[in-house]
Amino acid sequence: MSLLVIGLSHHTAPLSVLEGLAESPDRAHDIATAILSSATATEVVVVSTCNRLEVYAEVPAFHPAVAAIGEALAMAAGTRPEGLPCGMDVHPTDPAEELAVRAEGIADHLYVRYDDGAVAHTFTVACGLDSMAVGEAQILGQMRDALALAQQTGRAGESLNSLFQHALRVGKRAHSETDIDQHSLSLVQMGLEEAEKVLGDLRSRRAAVIGAGAMSGLAVATASRSGLTDLTVVNRTPARAERLADSVGGRARPWAALDDVIAESDLVITCTGAVGHVITEDLLVRTVTARDGRPQVFIDLALPRDVAPTDTWAQDLPGVRVIDLEELGERLAGRADLQQVDRVGELVTAEVAEYLTRRLEKRVAPTVAALRSRAAAVVAAELDRLNQRLPALDESTRSEVGRAVHRIVEKLLHTPTTRVKEFAVDANGPDYAAALRELFDLEPTDVANVSSPPKRGA
């Protein structure tokens, strides 16, 4: 069994592709169901955020799993799979090996990470090094939620549970032991910087936040810290809008007042998570007319986008500036503190090595346990035979003989069982666990019995 990660993110796919995938609210469930039904994976966790969609899977065979996962992703994107390109980053065993499987439409944007590379990618994502805003901590909660959903639905077993739990610990270490989050600009901060270039000092401007989810909460908090005091929150659920507005001394307005709020606001930050454009071209035209040419900036943090794409109307509405996730990602590139990035990178490297070592040691643990179990059974049988042959032996002598036999067996087993764990760290070395099983005639059932928890009632 091996780990496999296949996905696409803002690094490999344009906003239009990510937007198309985001339009299906049940995409994670549908993708996981399709993959497991193909019987090419035993465990699946799908991480689905506004700028990434990744499948983490425990698979018995590489090529069938890549084909099934690629097809599931392509179907989620609404495309019919045909074939992945030769240049895709796939190196399961041979660096020169190239792969062709079914998947058209998103194929050019997919990346594949296998086994050790999959572990390194998971830890890198958890630390925020792969995020659009390098060092952001929100991905930790998103990965935790993805794991929880997979656990609830029985899609995450021992392997992915171990991987994600370790990744979450690594992510926490990155934020507690380095300053990666303090030195990386958030999407909202970057958007406010761009808005200030158009509007000037934002402290004298009216602002509105559309939506009341996690990203909206971040937007409200960041805007308030930046000195914006005239802040309005609009959401379809009034109570949530009121709570968010009250947290910064702002005000809440009903959804029915959306047109008026937008027309009154110099800065609009929107992140509703709605399918379809909340701020349409018609609404923008009405807004421009009502504002009589005063400049206005929209920061669109939603995927799918809340604001209608600008390619059809931007020239007709020169006073309106729209900043979306794609532009923010481009502007954030290279803005992180390189020293902190290097520190987190070193942390990830060390943690990956530790995880891989533990995983390799764990693979031989059932064989070692089976060997010790076999030895214990032999000792017990021989001591029982001794009791039958020498029934008059006094209890003190009998106990001393038993302890001596146990010590002898323990000393004989100590070196081979210790060495087999040490040798297991070399993934490309001989299979010493198999050698132990052969030398001591351990049956597969012996190893399986100490690998699996006992059944209820057993």
Contact call for residues 175 and 131 (beta carbons, < 8 A):
no
User: Which amino acid is it at 113?
Assistant: R
Opening angle at CA 259, ends 256 and 261, nearest 5: 90
Structure tokens at 443: 């049956």
Closest CA to 339 of 135, 171, 167, 189: 135
Q: Is 271 a catalytic residue?
A: no
* Active-site residue, from 50, 86, 127, 271: 50
**Residue carrying the six token digits 């296949």:** 6
Q: Cis before residue 25, ω within 30 degrees of 0? A: no
Which residues make Cβ contacts (< 8 Å) with residue 386, sequence separation at least 6? 393, 398, 401
- Residue 9 three-state SS: strand
d(Cα 319, Cα 198) in Å, to the nearest integer? 10
Distance CA 331, CA 333 (A): 5
HSE on the CB side for 17, CA within 13 Å? 21
Q: DSSP secondary structure string, 124-163?
A: HHHTTTTSSSTT-SHHHHHHHHHHHHHHHTT---HHHHHH
Structural element, H or E, at residue 407: helix 395-424
Dihedral pair phi/psi, residue 43, rounded to 5° = -140, 145
The CA distance from 436 to 442, in Å, is: 8
Q: Return all residues near 255 (Cβ < 8 A) that are at least 6 apart.
A: 234, 235, 236, 238
C-alpha separations of 67 from 108, 135, 214 in Å: 15, 32, 35
Q: What is the dihedral of CA 197, 200, 204, 210, to 10 degrees?
A: -20
Q: How far is CA 132 from the centre of its chain?
A: 14
Q: 248: which residues sit within 8 A by CB, 6+ positions away?
A: 220, 221, 223, 224, 231
What amino acid positions are annotated as catalytic residues?
50
